[in-house]
Chains A and B, each alone.
Chain A
Amino acid sequence: EIVLTQSPGTLSLSPGERVALSCRASRSISSSYLAWYQQIPGQAPRLLIYGASFRATGIPDRFSGSGSGTDFTLRISRLEPEDFAVYYCQHYGSSTGTFGQGTKLEFK
């Protein structure tokens, strides 16, 4: 079973800053099945990125994804107040759906 490890666990940042969130897989996975989600407390997760680098419908272009093999990154170019949330990476497919443990972005 693949394990996804996200780092860091928590980041304290200010609006306007840029950030890179890491997701590392325990073994190589297809980038076609790597997704990123944003979750605001009290809400269901929202899909941001699928296939490692494709933005989901309606997602602003300040969000971008990259990576392959075991190392994947979600970047936010300029933080907006509504971006302070928890972010999860996921390896998904027809028989799996493993999530990382999440990275929390909090206000500095």
Chain B
Amino acid sequence: QVQLVQSGAEVKKPGASVKVSCKASGYTFTRYYIHWVRQAPGQGLEWMGIINPRNGSTTYAQKFQGRVTMTRDASPNTVYMELSSLRSEDTAFYYCARGGYGGYANWGQGTLVTVSS
């Protein structure tokens, strides 16, 4: 079955960068876009951007342009989301999700990133 498994929780200091991974299995990796969504504590869902695993092309939400980088490694079926210049407001759960015409049917378990001095 389709699975997206994310890397573990991170604690970072303000100004640092964090890189979260999302390993896909159970389907052809290059056939579906991967989206990144974050959720601050007690807040709603916020779309960050998308990567095409076939060619690595990306589109980022305007809010994160210049601070986020999404990459992929076809072997081993993993995408990465790196967020730089972290501030306390970036404390959130970060999710990867498999996209398609049928919405985001599959999600990773989420990675908590805590930004604290």
Listed in ascending order, the chain A residues whose CB lies under 8 Å from chain B are 1, 32, 35, 37, 39, 44-47, 49-51, 54, 56-57, 86, 88, 90, 92, 94-102
Chain B residue, CB-CB nearest to A49: B103
Top 5 A-B residue pairs of the complex, sorted by shortest distance between their CB atoms:
A97-B47, A50-B103, A35-B103, A44-B107, A99-B45
Contact A94 B103 (CB under 8 A): no
A94-B50, A97-B50 given as contacts; is B108 within 8 A of A44 (CB)? yes
Which bucket holds chain B's interface residue count?
20 to 34
Shortest Cβ distance from residue A65 to the other chain B in the assembled complex, whole angstroms = 11
18 A-B contact pairs sorted by A residue (CB < 8 Å): A1-B62, A35-B103, A37-B45, A44-B109, A45-B37, A45-B104, A56-B103, A88-B44, A88-B45, A90-B103, A92-B35, A92-B99, A94-B33, A94-B99, A95-B50, A97-B61, A98-B47, A101-B44
Residue with the highest number of chain A CB atoms closer than 10 Å, among B37, B102, B104:
B104
Q: Which of A32, A50, A96, A97 is B37 in contact with, Cβ under 8 Å?
A: A97
Q: Which residues of chain B have C-beta atoms less than 8 A from A86's C-beta?
A: 44
Contact B103 A92 (CB under 8 A): yes
Chain B residue, CB-CB nearest to A95: B59
Contact A57 B45 (CB under 8 A): no
A63 to B80, CA, bound (A): 34
Q: Does B46 sit within 8 A of A, measured CB to CB?
A: yes
